[in-house]
Amino acid sequence: METTLSEQLFARARRSIPGGVNSPVRAFKSVGGTPLFISRAKGAYLYDADGNKYIDYIASWGPMILGHAYEPVIQAIRDRVANSTSYGAPTELEVEMAELIISMVPHVDLIRMVSSGTEACMSAIRLARGFTGKNKFIKFEGHYHGHADAFLVKAGSGVATLDIQTVPGITAGVAQDTLTCPFNDPEAVTRLVKQHRGNIAAIIVEPVAGNMGCVLPEKGFLEELRSLCDTENMLLIFDEVMTGFRLAPGGAQEKLGIRADLVTYGKVIGGGMPVGAFGGRREIMEHIAPAGKVYQAGTLSGNPIAMIAGLTTLKVLKGNPKIFAELEQKTTYLKEGLQKALQQKGFPFVINQYASMISVHFCDHPVKDFATASDGNTDQFKKFFHSLLDQGIYLPPSPFESWFLNNALSFRDLDETIEAAESFVDS
């Protein structure tokens, strides 16, 4: 691929933006090479500054579930933007959005809009602390809940990609209240709870992990977390920034049949615009200011343009629930095709899939937590990533990320992806 303009843009960007990007995972640090500067996108396709076309498996890290420039979303934004872009005052759109989300997901009576998944998760932790009066919380190694200080302890996504085990700037005072243990290890969680009995406000978990590749909860694990939270007076927080409105209309709570006390959302609910949200049952959420004293705020929270983009996206998903089954069917087709394409190449690999989340790991063992996700052949992933990129297939540039399918992907696109994997040579 000719990528001269991306290379020139990256050199220019590095002169004014740290690392040349506004979010580390975009920098291709772990796969090497020059990040592509995207100029436009439509449906399942991205087009870079040099005019190269790519089949997109990032979907803006999840939001573009309907595909890029989905006409009803674009039209809704066009119609709304003439009425100004922000007021700093309540609007009917925010009420409609809250009512729509509450109608789609279980166990949420009240919901607060914010502008990112990070804000949603950090607010949920603050609320859990304010509601229970306890300071500590448990997160799992390799799970990523955004870049708030308390979460940057053994985190996934870009933190794992850049292998930053201890993030400078996170004080001991903050880190001491963040307890971590391996995902899918109920004994480790029980030991931690016993060790800190009476001091843990919450357990926050990605119910299906997407930030160390796609890693599924093992049978009974989430049920064990639910039971521990019930017996130890802790809140179970499902971080559904990725899984929400992707796995099912009601997200992981619906798909897995597990009740969370608080749930965080992001990505899909903004339709590509900056939106996050956190919600739960009334007795907890009523502690949030101004109803209660747990302060949380945001200038652009519930922004009307972001709301109309998210509302339009969610209405399409609510009105066409078959989209979830279509996405799952396409992902299963892709997994089966990749399985066939790679299995005769003589090197070990594992493909994890859950609904429309999927990841390929170059290793000879199951990937069930951060330790096993970290034990893959990263050089082989780099070569695989670039081999497919050179063939017009744009995968997430890190082995510590889930791929995200969008529903604009055709079976021809999937076949092209499988054919590209067939021609991958681990040279």
Minimum distance from CB of 344 to ligand KE4 (Å)? 31
Q: Which is nearer to ligand KE4, 27 or 393 (CB)?
A: 27
Residue 116 within binding range of ligand KE4, rule CB under 6 A: yes
Tell whether residue 401 is a contact of ligand KE4 (CB under 6 A): yes
CB of 340 to ligand KE4, least distance (A): 28
328 binds ligand KE4 (CB under 6 A): no
The token pair at 143 is: 């799970």
Is 112 in contact with 296 (CB distance < 8 Å)?
A: yes
- Name the segment binding ligand KE4 (CB under 6 A); options: 169-177, 212-220, 235-243, 333-341: 235-243
Please say whether the beta carbons of 235 and 381 come within 8 A. no
Q: In this chain, which of 3, 211, 352, 377 binds ligand KE4, going by CB under 6 A?
A: 211
Q: Which two tokens stand for residue 242?
A: 């990725």
CB burial readout 172-191, b (16+ within 10 A) else e: eeebebbbbbbbbbbebbee
- Applying CB under 6 A, which of residues 185, 206, 261, 369 lies at the interface with ligand KE4? 206
Which residue number, 277 or 418, has a Cβ lying nearer to ligand KE4? 277
Please give the Cα distance from 221 to 216 (Å, whole number).
10
Q: Which residues are catalytic?
A: 144, 239, 267
Place of tokens 């709870």: 193
Strands 136-140 and 178-181: parallel
> Residue 391's CB: how many other CB atoms inside 10 A?
17
110 vs 162, beta carbon nearer ligand KE4: 162
Q: Which is nearer to ligand KE4, 206 or 328 (CB)?
A: 206
- The secondary structure element, H or E, covering residue 200 is strand 200-205
Helix (H, G, I), strand (E, B) or coil at 188: helix
Tokens of 382: 């780099």
The least CB distance from residue 115 to ligand KE4, in Å, is: 8
Q: Does 242 bind ligand KE4 (CB under 6 A)?
A: yes
Helix (H) or strand (E) holding 351: strand 350-354
Instruction: Please report where in the chains the tokens 């969008």 appear, as a residue.
Output: 406
Give the footprint of ligand KE4 on residues 59-78 (CB under 6 A): 61
Give the nearer residue to ligand KE4 in terms of CB position, either 244 or 337: 244
- Is position 20 an interface residue for ligand KE4 (rule: CB under 6 A)? no
Q: Which DSSP state fits 198?
A: T
User: Residue count at the site for ligand KE4 (CB under 6 A)?
Assistant: 21
The single residue listed with the structure tokens 């003589």 is 346
Q: Are 16 and 61 in contact (CB under 8 A)?
A: no
Q: Which is nearer to ligand KE4, 337 or 376 (CB)?
A: 376
Does residue 397 touch ligand KE4 according to CB under 6 A? no
121 is a contact residue toward ligand KE4 (CB under 6 A): yes
Site for ligand KE4 (CB under 6 A): which residue of 9, 13, 25, 152? 25
Strands (E) located in 29-176? 38-42, 45-48, 53-56, 110-114, 136-140
CA 56, 361, 142, 67: dihedral to nearest 10 degrees?
10
Q: Please report how close the Cβ of residue 298 comes to ligand KE4 at its closest, in angstroms.
A: 13
Radius of gyration of the chain (CA): 21
Minimum distance of ligand KE4 from residue 143's CB (angstroms):
7
Instruction: Return the bridge partners of 239, or none.
Output: 264
Does residue 144 belong to the site contacting ligand KE4 (CB under 6 A)? yes
- As measured in angstroms, the least distance from the Cβ of 180 to ligand KE4 is 16
| Minimum distance of ligand KE4 from residue 265's CB (angstroms) | 9
Q: Does 56 bind ligand KE4 (CB under 6 A)?
A: no
Residues that bind ligand KE4 (CB under 6 A): 23, 25, 61, 116-118, 121, 144-146, 157-158, 206, 210-211, 239, 241-242, 266, 276, 401
